[in-house]
Amino acid sequence: MFSILTPSRNRPHRLKTFIDSVYDNADNINNVEILIYVDNDDPVLDQYKDMQGYRNIKIIFDKPVSISNSWNTMAKISQGNVLIMGNDDLEYRTKHWDTLLSKELQQYTDQIYVAWMEDGINADKHCAFPIISRKWYKTLGYFAPGIFNFGYNDTWIYDIGKKINRCHYMPHIKAEHMHFSANKSVYDDTYARNRTQNRGNLYHKDKTIFEQTESQRQQDADKLKRVIIDI
């Protein structure tokens, strides 16, 4: 099963578009679950509550936490053998994406990899929405590191993948990132919340954290290397 871990904030309509794109392009919708984390202070909380029971989704309503920790909360209750970083400004474009992804991951018999789809912005230059196995998750004990305010979660996972030479880009499977910076959506309050409002530019803060934690990523890479060697 695939588990797509998806935080959302003040975007129920965009979230629904994302959900529909995932299921409408999948071969086996029963093999895909979408977990959603919604803050219990969300300004349109009732609209999210109305979505409960919609297709094969599970919504967690809980206190506001960093997006990094929200991904970990979703990962803890996920059922899939493959964990996928999702977001409410993504739209899956490729038919049979689930079948294609399964075929791509079969080559990793030890189940240690960082894979990613074409997002329409980064291509092979950056793993914007990482895909990892449950074995990876159990070995390290987390999906996202939990230390960031907002950004650099994908960069963290990607960096570990590079350290163990297990990065796998899939240009023929597209999950398009409808991001404002690429003029694919409007700059809304959810984007602003993490960039220019009271907390300042969280990306700048997280860049500093990332640069100060190289040794931790190396330690985690070493854990995964030991698993690969044991196979």
Domain boundaries, the chain: 2-230
Share of the chain above pLDDT 90, in %: 84
Q: What is the pLDDT of residue 231?
A: 47
Q: Is pLDDT above 60 for 230? A: no
Report helix, strand or coil for 63.
coil
* Residue-wise pLDDT tens digits, 60-118: 999 999 999 999 999 999 999 999 999 999 999 999 999 999 999 999 999 999 999 99
Calculate mean pLDDT across residues 146-173.
96
Q: What is the pLDDT of residue 26?
A: 98
Q: What is the pLDDT of residue 115?
A: 98
Report helix, strand or coil for 52.
coil
**In whole angstroms, what separates CA 190 from the centre of its chain?**
17
Nearest residue to 74 via CA among 11, 17, 3, 26 = 3
Tokens of 177: 């990132």
pTM of the model: 0.91
- C-alpha–C-alpha distance, residues 220 and 164, integer Å: 10
Share of the chain above pLDDT 70, in %: 89
- Beta bridge pairs of residue 61: 38
- Mention the CATH class of domain 2-230: alpha beta
Nearest residue to 170 via CA among 109, 66, 96 = 96
- C-alpha–C-alpha distance, residues 70 and 148, integer Å: 11
Cβ–Cβ under 8 Å, residues 130 and 115: yes
The kind and range of the H/E element at 193 are helix 189-193
Q: What is the pLDDT of residue 178?
A: 86
DSSP E strands, 87-184: 90-92, 114-118, 131-133, 167-177
